[in-house]
């Protein structure tokens, strides 16, 4: 597909935002990039901007859908519990030595939809175990990191299935550029203003120190207790290495750590979940004492069950996030079939690992202390959407009194 000068200009702006606003690379810092093969044009632009910003070395790693499928089609069954732990260990070592991380998303959201769920689950569990050392550094926010998107043909075909490939890719790019706030005169200044708005919201929530959130709406009556010493975050935040970065481009959320043992009630997903190439639709679960005790899905049930059986923490929550139903991504009317975007269209929860950055005084707390305060531990962290224009959220104070936080998906007041 021939790219217009305007597209090239916006792609370069996206790369600049990813480097200057997203990862905010420091002088002399190394950068590791993971990306699908189709994303080479964006990787090259990010690499250029990173070196201009002072990066000492940029190292890209590419994923190939065809190679991924080849394993499921031809690999012996007794090899599926093998993962590239040597590669993940190397990445973790790089992060410990000061490297930053950039992930480019855009793979086919239903790549593994026709594969054996048991084989998919085994590969995913092995990858999660191997990636745990590196992922712990990310969930602790020890390093500056960022995720940004590239519109691949496979992804675009799932978002706009009735369009010719070129038109679908073009439409998806327009949506990515819009959501990523690069279609303005000064994207960097726009991101500064946007981050300030998110910070005001997070600061207000932190000042109030609510005990729990109560979500109500169609098929939803869910109480989410908040961890002792939880902290709300949103937008750009300082990582453990002191570098201020925006982990997600785009982002519309404020989020915190729920109490892993204080979640109860029922909830139904408001958007499908696309997890490692599999569609899981119409998720409905029931929590007791923080743990999912019943789970259903109209499609992807087997995969959902295997996710929940990953480890003890997989049935508990590691994140709760609030997003207004009028967010720009929601108002686009597009189901992106990609968590980076769909989670910023609706309030959501995440199964699995909690973010230590969303706890107070984490530098002085051990893993055991964090667990006692309600932080969850797991090999997984999987977001799924529970918010919409039909969902209300009440804040519950420590004395049991309530106050409206969101009504019909919108904030009840402005900070």
**pLDDT of res. 276:** 75
- Other Cβ atoms less than 10 A from the Cβ of 252: the count is 25
**pLDDT of res. 295:** 98
CB 396 within 8 A of CB 211: yes
Separation of alpha carbons 403 and 396, rounded Å: 7
CA separation, residue 255 to residues 10, 21, 393, 406 (Å):
29, 19, 14, 14
**pLDDT of res. 140:** 86
Using alpha carbons, select from 55, 40, 45, 38 the residue that is nearest to residue 9: 45
Segments of 175-253 assigned E as strands: 212-217, 220-226, 237-238, 244-245
* Helix/strand/coil for 286: strand
CA 41 to chain centre: 23
> Angle 25-30-35 (CA atoms, 0-180°, nearest 5)?
85
Q: What is the DSSP letter of 114?
A: T
Quick: pLDDT tens for 220-277.
Answer: 999 999 999 999 999 999 999 999 999 999 999 999 999 999 999 999 999 999 887 7
Per-block average pLDDT, block size 10, for the chain (415 residues)?
84 98 98 98 98 98 96 97 97 98 95 90 92 90 97 96 96 97 96 97 97 98 97 94 96 97 98 86 97 96 93 97 95 93 95 90 78 92 95 97 96 86
Separation of alpha carbons 351 and 304, rounded Å: 11
Q: What pTM does this model have?
A: 0.91
Encoding tokens for residue 113? 């939809």
CB 258 within 8 A of CB 349: yes
DSSP string across 118-167: HHHHHHHHHHHHHHHHHHHHHHTT-S-EEEEE---HHHHHHHSTTS-HHH
* Helix/strand/coil for 33: strand
Q: Domains (ranges, CATH) in the chain?
A: 3-178 (3.40.1830.10), 205-236+250-409 (no CATH)
Cβ within 8 Å of residue 142, ≥6 positions away:
95, 239, 240, 241
Cβ within 8 Å of residue 229, ≥6 positions away:
359, 360, 361, 373
Where does residue 189 fall: left (phi above 0), alpha (psi -120 to 50 degrees), or beta otherwise? alpha
Separation of alpha carbons 234 and 205, rounded Å: 11
Q: What residue spans of 53-100 are helical by DSSP H?
A: 65-74, 85-96
The distance in angstroms from the start CA to the end CA of the chain is: 46
Encoding tokens for residue 370? 């964090």
CB 175 within 8 A of CB 156: no
**pLDDT of res. 1:** 56
């Amino acid at each position: 597909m021939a790219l217009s000068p305007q597209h090239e200009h916006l792609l370069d702006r996206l790369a600049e935002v990813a480097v200057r606003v997203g990862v905010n690379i420091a002088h002399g810092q190394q950068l590791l990039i993971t990306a699908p093969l189709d994303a080479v044009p964006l990787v090259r632009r990010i690499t250029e901007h990173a070196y201009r910003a002072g990066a000492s070395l940029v190292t890209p790693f590419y994923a190939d859908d065809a190679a991924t499928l080849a394993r499921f089609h031809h690999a012996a069954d007794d090899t599926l519990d093998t993962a590239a732990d040597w590669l993940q260990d190397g990445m973790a070592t790089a992060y410990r030595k000061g490297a930053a991380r950039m992930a480019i998303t855009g793979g086919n959201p239903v790549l593994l939809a026709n594969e054996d769920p048991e084989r998919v689950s085994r590969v995913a569990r092995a990858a999660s175990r191997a990636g745990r050392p590196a992922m712990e550094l990310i969930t602790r926010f020890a390093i500056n990191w960022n995720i940004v998107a590239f519109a691949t043909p496979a992804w675009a075909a799932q978002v706009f299935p009735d369009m010719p490939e070129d038109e679908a890719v073009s439409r998806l790019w327009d949506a990515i550029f819009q959501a990523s706030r690069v279609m303005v005169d000064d994207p960097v200044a726009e991101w500064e203003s946007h981050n300030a708005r998110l910070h005001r919201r997070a600061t207000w929530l932190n000042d109030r120190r609510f005990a729990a959130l109560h979500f109500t709406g169609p098929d939803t009556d869910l109480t989410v207790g908040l961890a002792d010493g939880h902290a709300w975050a949103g937008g750009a935040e300082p990582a453990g290495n002191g570098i201020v970065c925006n982990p997600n481009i785009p982002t519309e959320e404020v989020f915190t750590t729920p109490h892993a043992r204080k979640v109860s009630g029922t909830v139904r997903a408001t958007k499908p979940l696309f997890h490692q190439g599999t569609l899981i639709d119409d998720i409905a679960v029931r929590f007791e004492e923080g743990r999912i005790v019943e789970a259903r899905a109209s499609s992807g049930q087997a995969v959902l069950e295997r996710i929940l059986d990953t480890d003890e923490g997989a049935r508990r929550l590691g994140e709760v996030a609030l997003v207004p139903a009028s967010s720009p991504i929601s108002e686009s009317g597009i189901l992106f079939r990609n968590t980076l975007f769909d989670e910023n269209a609706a309030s959501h929860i995440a199964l699995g690992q909690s973010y230590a950055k969303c706890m107070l005084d984490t530098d002085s707390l051990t893993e055991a202390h964090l667990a006692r305060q309600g932080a969850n531990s797991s090999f997984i962290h999987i977001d799924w959407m529970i918010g919409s224009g039909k969902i209300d959220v009440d804040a519950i104070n420590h004395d049991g009194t309530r106050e409206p936080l969101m009504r019909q998906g919108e904030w009840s007041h402005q900070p």
